[in-house]
């Protein structure tokens, strides 16, 4: 009885999940047996603008903290050392390069690490 109850619960969850997906849009097709079948529309997940902005702000904030903690000269030396490395290190040096926003923010919060 326990196994039958688990199988029923599993089928019920599958039907509920398919129903939720069908509620967001579906396509009606004729399958190879001649039965009409509703299939959920396949949606490609996307990243929202808000999420991209938060990731960018976090990245600039991380660079700001590094520049403020190390100082602009030491940070530039470390980036130059990275730029002379492998392809992955050069890509990291390009990403972590000093930009005006992180430099300005680092000068504003430099007193916290002084």
What is the tens place of the pLDDT at every residue in 95-111? 999 888 888 988 888 77
Average pLDDT, the chain: 90
Position 44 confidence tier, pLDDT thresholds 50, 70, 90: confident
Q: What is the pTM of this model?
A: 0.58
Alpha carbons 91 and 84: distance in angstroms, whole number: 11
The pLDDT, as a whole number, for residue 45 is: 78
> Which secondary structure element, helix H or strand E, spans residue 81, and what is its range?
helix 72-83
């Amino acid at each position: 009885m326990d196994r039958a109850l688990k199988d029923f619960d599993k089928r019920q969850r599958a039907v509920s999940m398919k129903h939720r997906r069908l509620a967001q849009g579906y396509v009606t097709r004729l399958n190879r047996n001649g039965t009409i079948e509703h299939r959920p529309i396949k949606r490609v997940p996307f990243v929202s603008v808000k999420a991209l902005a938060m990731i960018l702000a976090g990245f600039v904030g991380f660079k700001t903290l590094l520049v403020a903690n190390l100082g602009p000269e030491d940070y530039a030396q470390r980036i130059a050392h990275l730029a002379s490395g492998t392809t992955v290190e050069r890509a990291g040096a390009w990403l972590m390069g000093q930009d005006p926003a992180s430099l300005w923010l680092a000068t504003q919060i430099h007193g916290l690490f002084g």
